[in-house]
A and B are shown apart, each in its own frame.
Chain A
Amino acid sequence: MKITRRQLAEAVAGSAAVALAAAQTPAPATRDFNAESRESHRANSDVLKKFDLPMSIEPAFAFKA
């Protein structure tokens, strides 16, 4: 398993030991970037799911007339 900087930073908040161990694990010889991208999306989705927002919170953009 290879850990990205972002994953590492977020892991640090929870478990420094896990993060360190992951960081020291060698990367595989060949990489499947498509699979890595899909995995990154899954991880992002999991983070977003933790936010339960009231409907009054609107997206941070506004159209001008």
Chain B
Amino acid sequence: MTDDIFFAGIADLNNRLRKHEFSTVELTRAFADRLEKLGPRYNALALPLTQVAVKRAKQVDDELKRERFRGPLQGIPFGAKDLLAFAGHPTTWGAKPYAGQVFDETATVLQKLDKTGSVLIGKLAMVELAGGGGYRTAAASLFGPGLNPWDRGYWSGGSSSGSGSAVAAGLVPFALGSETSGSIVTPAAFCGITGLRPTYGLVSRHGAMALSWTMDKIGPMCRSAEDCGLVLQAIAGSDTKDPASADKSFYYTPQYSRQLSDLKVGYAPSDLGWAEAGARPAFEAAMRVVRETGVQLMEVALPDFPYGVLADVIIGAEEASIFETLIASNGVNDLADESQAAGLRANLNIPATEYLKAMRIRSLVKEKFRELFADVDVLVAPARYGVAPKVTDPLDGPDLVPLPIPATPGMRRLIQAGNLAGIPALSLPCGFVGSLPVGLQLAGPAFSENTLLALGREFQNRTDWHKRRPPVS
């Protein structure tokens, strides 16, 4: 097998498995060896599962020999963020206080992927407690700082750090990540991969660490929009074990997607002004490509709310309740980032009235987004407004404010706003600044994943940013 295998798409790999160009065992061993060898270079590997994976791969090969085809994910290796329980194996949530934690039950999403015949080859590193309490350094993880495959001096993003860097470096064909407020979109943008944050409730969270019951989502991190669609189809759907389940399925149906010329896409011109100067040419070029797809571009403004405050209060209150025992036992003192421990302790004191107030304002946010999506079908904005920060840079430091300061806030708070509204978003690689990638974000109304994927797929038909490979050795 050549290195091309490690950067191939899901459908291509599955097609070659069916043609018996190689076996599932061979493919699994190749990826698992690579993950074990190179994963530590990026602090991306939480737990190798090679033995279990090879055993499962043999079963899949038996099925393929009998021509029992399960679909495009059959025989495809993958990795999962270490907040997803895999029965009988450690699930650390990226945090020292939970380093020895083992669950009896496997997360619903991993069970669903197992049924498709895909093969879990490893758990992937993450920011401790998915960033609960608020982290200020890339090193806030049991596994060390997530290192970016494009340049290991830079962060891979968080909190799905290992998922981002493992996909980017070709250590897994796809990975599962999770997002409460940016944890899929950010590492996808920083690592130059395609990440999909699904609509809240579309994908079961059963068996996943909770950070915020009302905001947590699990989603795919892949090479392409196409692959995100295939993985989302496998993991979405009703689950009685998840109280927030929307009882909806998802079928990836690009053949039935709306004509792009019918789509109204909202953007904020001031976004370019907010972007880091070096990233502006990439975003300008990306917007030209979006325009060339034939969509109707319209200027819009995000509804005016204090999104950061709302996210802080809601996530803060919920995470303090979730980790109350850890806080009370002073286990938080074992976290790598001192500011997270302080944040979690302080969040115990968020008054119920403030939490409810934030949740009531959130109702207004949802309403305003419904109104906005009466006028447009999709929002487009930079996923992040610049490249990944250096690994050694503080994450809570002052922004470099662009000059002149744009007159309007643009979509800078789209990640927080979108998470509060529970709407889906797709992050697409859209260029480079030096050696580091930047990403474009598409967001749409609840359950509009097929629309986002259709536009994302067309963007990727017209560009090759998602095919670029970092200098992995």
The residue in chain B whose Cβ has the minimal distance to the Cβ of A11 is B401
A36 to B312 alpha-carbon distance, docked (Å): 14
Selected contact of A51 from candidates B308, B341, B342, B357, CB within 8 Å: B357
Size range of the chain A interface in the assembly: 35 or more
Known: A5-B396, A8-B398. A59 touches B413 (CB 8 A): no
Rounded to whole angstroms, the CA-CA distance of A33 and B366 in the bound complex is 33
B residues less than 8 Å from A5 (CB atoms): 396, 398-399
**Residues in B neighbouring A47, C-beta threshold 8 A:** 306, 309
Q: Give chain B residues whose Cβ lies under 8 Å from the Cβ of A31.
A: 339
Would A60 and B360 count as touching, CB distance under 8 A?
A: yes
User: Is B354's beta carbon under 8 Å from chain A?
Assistant: yes
A10 touches B398 (CB 8 A): no
Contact A33 B359 (CB under 8 A): no
Interface on chain B toward A: helix, strand, loop, or mixed SS?
helix
Chain B residues contacting A36 (CB-CB under 8 Å) are: 339, 342
B328 within 8 A of A: no
Comparing B25-33, B345-353, B434-442, the segment that makes contact with chain A is B345-353
A48, B354: Cβ atoms closer than 8 Å: yes
With beta carbons under 8 angstroms apart, the residue of B338, B359, B397 that contacts A59 is B359
- Chain B count of residues within 8 A CB distance of the other chain: 39
Which of B338, B365, B398 has the most chain A CB within a 10 Å cutoff?
B398
B residues 395-412 with Cβ under 8 Å of A? 396-399, 401, 405, 409, 412
Chain A CB within 10 Å, residue with most, of B312, B349, B365:
B312
Instruction: Kindly identify, within residues 1 to 47 of chain A, every residue whose CB is under 8 Å from any CB belonging to chain B.
Output: 2-6, 8-10, 12-13, 16, 19-20, 22-24, 27, 31, 33-34, 36-38, 40-41, 43-45, 47
Complex contacts, A61 vs chain B, CB 8 Å? 214, 359
Residues in chain B near residue A37, CB distance under 8 A: 134, 339, 342-343, 345-347
**Is A12 within 8 A of B405, CB to CB?**
yes
Please report which residues of chain B, range 287-324, place their CB below 8 angstroms from some CB of chain A when the two chains form the complex.
Answer: 306, 308-309, 312-313
Q: Which of A3, A23, A59, A63 contacts B363 (CB 8 A)?
A: A59
Digit string of A43-65 for contact with B (CB within 8 Å is 1, else 0)? 11101100101000111110110
Q: How far apart are B346's CB and chain A's nearest CB, in angstroms?
A: 3
Contact residues in A for B398 (Cβ distance below 8 Å):
2-5, 8, 22-24
Given A60-B214, A61-B214, A64-B243, also A8-B399 (CB < 8 A): yes
Name A residues whose Cβ lies closer than 8 Å to a Cβ of B.
Answer: 2-6, 8-10, 12-13, 16, 19-20, 22-24, 27, 31, 33-34, 36-38, 40-41, 43-45, 47-48, 51, 53, 57-61, 63-64
Nearest 9 Cβ contacts at the A-B interface: A37-B346, A33-B342, A59-B359, A6-B308, A60-B362, A23-B398, A60-B363, A33-B339, A47-B309
